[in-house]
Structure 1
Amino acid sequence: MRQNPQRRAALLDAAIEVLAREGSRGLTLRAVDAEAGVPTGTASNYFANRGQLLVQILHRTRERLTPDAGELAGPLDTKVLLGRLLGRIRRERSVHTAVLELRLEATRRPELQAELSAFLAEELEENIAWHLDAGLPGDRMGVALVYFAMQGLIVDDLTIPALLEAHPVDDLLGVMVERLLPERPAG
């Protein structure tokens, strides 16, 4: 397998675009080559098979969706952080759409489901630990509830944004934080 990290990242970014646009059935190594503008067969030099490609796409999505340090600096406010998360998702629509496609594909591929389950469980634990370590309001269960609520809001925002028109997202985020993450008592 080839080891050029820049080429691998470009192929994975192309795969994300194909997956988001065409769905799982449209994701082939040949389609990735075409999207990346590289000679046919290039992707097969980097990924042994489609299953390996799917797993590596998953890891590339985390790289692309991880906030930069500036987004997490300064006085921390959960509502603001959730708004920034939604903004990142909107800027990187194809990345999150690809994650949704991976979730659907995992319902048909046990090996991908195992990988995705472990991946998302680790992500959730990291999010909970970061939130609590940052001293933000709420407890472990509240942070988990916000995570799952945000997943639903993100799916609706990506797939049927008109549904949210009657419910301003900024207001929803404020109520979510207020109700699910009450201030912890001092002491």
Structure 2
Amino acid sequence: MPPPNEQRRASLADAAIALLVESGVHGVTHRAVDHRAGLPAGTASNYFRTREALLVATARRVIEQHQADMAQAARDHDPSAGRGTAADDRTRAIDLITGSLLLSAGQHRTRYLAIFELRLEGLRRPALAAAIDDLSAAMADFTGGHHAEVGLPIPPAAIPAMLVMYGGALFALVTGPAELVTPEAVRPLAVAIVDGGLAAGHDAAGQSVHPTAAGHATQISG
């Protein structure tokens, strides 16, 4: 169990996520976060001295939660699957991303609505945009490690394109009707992400890929 101060920090960020979805960025104030989290007035400002720091912490919370979901998916992965044929690996990658999109746009929909709100706010707040870009670059590295952990031979050059396509698919899913987030609707998107990413990786092989090449998309991938 994390120490109490980390628990409280997480509670404040979770309250900010809920407020972002309900009221947009303008509804996220220290006072509103305290009230939503059920904590004494002044708590949020003790943890996050500025409103911008509060918004950055909220983005970091979404990334941390997404990474936790990916780690759980890796733990649930059957280690006996191992490396298969190229077709087998493609199918496993599609299955993994389908499951991630369904979880993210379904059960955890509010998280990603919140981070899209923050990305848009970053257009007006350069420091917030820079912080999210840094988180996105770290997410790209994490995604590569995740693929290796579950035994998927996805080349690093494919990851930036996959992240951009994943972010676009996730945006469409979380801003559309929730009842349309079904396996039948999501799997074709996962197919496009895997096949498009691998094609882009092949084209980019041997070329320099900037670590924040996908910085202006939400760099989250399953």
Residue of structure 2 in register with 1:114 after alignment: 130
Residue by residue, what CA displacement relative to the aligned partner does 1:19-63 show, whole Å, maximum 9, x if unpaired? 122111111011101111223222122211101111111211122
Question: What percentage of aligned pairs have identical amino acids?
Answer: 35
The aligned amino acid for 2:73 is: E
The aligned amino acid for 2:194 is: V
Please report how far the alpha carbon of residue 155 of structure 1 lies from its aligned counterpart in structure 2 after TM superposition.
Answer: 0.3
The aligned amino acid for 1:80 is: D
Residue of structure 2 in register with 1:85 after alignment: 100
For normalisation by structure 2, the TM-score amounts to: 0.71
Equivalent positions of 1:1-187 (< 5 A) are 4-66=5-67, 67=69, 69-72=71-74, 73-74=77-78, 75=81, 77-89=92-104, 90-131=106-147, 134-161=150-177, 168-178=185-195, 180-181=197-198
RMSD: 2.6
Higher relative contact order (CA 8 A, sep 6+): 2
CA distance in 2, matches of 1:5, 1:179: 39
Please say which of residues 132-141 and 78-87 is displaced more in the overlay.
132-141
CA distance in 1, matches of 2:168, 2:109: 15
The aligned amino acid for 1:17 is: A
The aligned amino acid for 1:127 is: T
Distance 1:161 1:143, change over 3 A: farther
Distance 1:138 1:24, change over 3 A: same
CA distance in 2, matches of 1:133, 1:181: 18
The aligned amino acid for 1:101 is: E
Structure 1 gaps, min length 5: none
CA distance in 1, matches of 2:159, 2:12: 35
Task: Report how many aligned residue pairs link the two structures.
Answer: 179
Cα pair 1:55 1:112 within 8 Å, conserved? yes
Distance 1:93 1:133, change over 3 A: closer
CA distance in 1, matches of 2:13, 2:196: 39
CA distance in 1, matches of 2:71, 2:157: 25
Please report how far the alpha carbon of residue 172 of structure 1 lies from its aligned counterpart in structure 2 after TM superposition.
Answer: 3.0
Please report how far the alpha carbon of residue 112 of structure 1 lies from its aligned counterpart in structure 2 after TM superposition.
Answer: 1.0
Structure 2 gaps, min length 5: 82-88, 203-222
For normalisation by structure 1, the TM-score amounts to: 0.82
The aligned amino acid for 1:173 is: A
Cα pair 2:93 2:194 within 8 Å, conserved? yes
